[in-house]
């Protein structure tokens, strides 16, 4: 947990610096009837969303520092995730005295979910590694990329890694193209996502070991059921 807190603090400092240097909050608020709209893509129900709300605080702080004698614009925060997401739990966790309007927007972030030029700050935290769908070649027994029923790619062949990589690259391209349509000129897109050093096998990482353990457990359970 301590490592996660340190990582969160580093991320917050980077976002703070980028927003402070790059975001023109005055032009954004004047261009939208004094309402600044933020969107959290892949909000889930808890900690990831609170990281996005830290960005809202940074935007407010910058506005106050630049225009101390002007009224603060209103803020609208949209929370996006799949329709199956537990939005009720999410909204119950939001502070009742929040100084922004909140709304849930269900839908896949791999495509358009907002009107053109309607968002000022877009953020996605630890969500873009989720794929839009399983690469078809992974479940095709006649394909060199057949993953033999595995639930992950730890220790998999190069063909499997390539199939996952191509699917992710297309998903990321779709995400960015959709956000390019939805964000206003001068807006900002913030993406936080896990990564690994080049050349390091996924099977040697903690997540790889964890998923290997899950796989072993699920296979054992399925064998017991079939007996």
Any domain includes 75: yes
Domain that holds residue 7: 2-131+168-195
| Any domain includes 22 | yes
- In this structure, the chain runs to a length of 227
Q: Is residue 38 part of a domain?
A: yes
* Cα distances (Å, whole numbers) of residue 100 to 47, 64, 94, 96: 18, 16, 11, 10
Among the listed residues 125, 130, 217, 122, the one whose alpha carbon sits nearest the alpha carbon of residue 177: 122
Return the percentage of the chain with pLDDT > 70, whole number: 92
The count of structural domains within the chain is 1
Q: What is the CATH number of the domain that holds 52?
A: 3.40.50.150
In a domain, 54, yes or no: yes
SS3 133: coil
| Residue 207 domain flag | no
Structural domain contains residue 211: no
Local confidence band at 216 (pLDDT 50, 70, 90 cut-offs): confident
Predicted TM-score (pTM) of this structure: 0.86
């Amino acid at each position: 947990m301590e490592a996660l807190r340190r990582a969160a603090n580093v991320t917050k400092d980077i976002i703070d610096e980028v927003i402070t240097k790059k975001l023109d909050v005055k032009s954004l608020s004047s261009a939208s009837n004094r309402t600044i709209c933020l969107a959290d893509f892949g909000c889930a129900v808890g900690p990831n969303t609170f990281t996005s709300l830290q960005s809202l605080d940074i935007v407010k702080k910058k506005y106050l520092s630049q225009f101390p004698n002007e009224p603060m614009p209103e803020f609208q925060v949209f929370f996006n995730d799949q329709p199956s997401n537990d939005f009720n739990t999410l909204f119950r966790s939001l502070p009742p005295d929040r100084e922004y309007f909140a709304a849930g927007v269900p839908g896949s972030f791999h495509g358009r979910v907002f009107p053109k030029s309607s968002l000022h700050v877009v953020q996605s935290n630890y969500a873009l590694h989720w794929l839009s769908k399983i690469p078809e070649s992974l479940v095709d027994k006649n394909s060199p990329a057949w993953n033999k029923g595995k639930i992950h790619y730890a220790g998999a062949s190069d063909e499997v890694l390539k199939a996952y990589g191509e699917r992710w690259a297309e998903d990321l391209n779709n995400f960015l193209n959709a956000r390019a349509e939805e964000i206003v000129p001068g807006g900002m897109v913030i993406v936080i996502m896990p990564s690994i050093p080049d050349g390091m096998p996924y099977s040697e990482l903690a997540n790889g070991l964890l998923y290997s353990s899950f796989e072993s457990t699920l296979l054992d359970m399925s064998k017991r059921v079939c007996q």
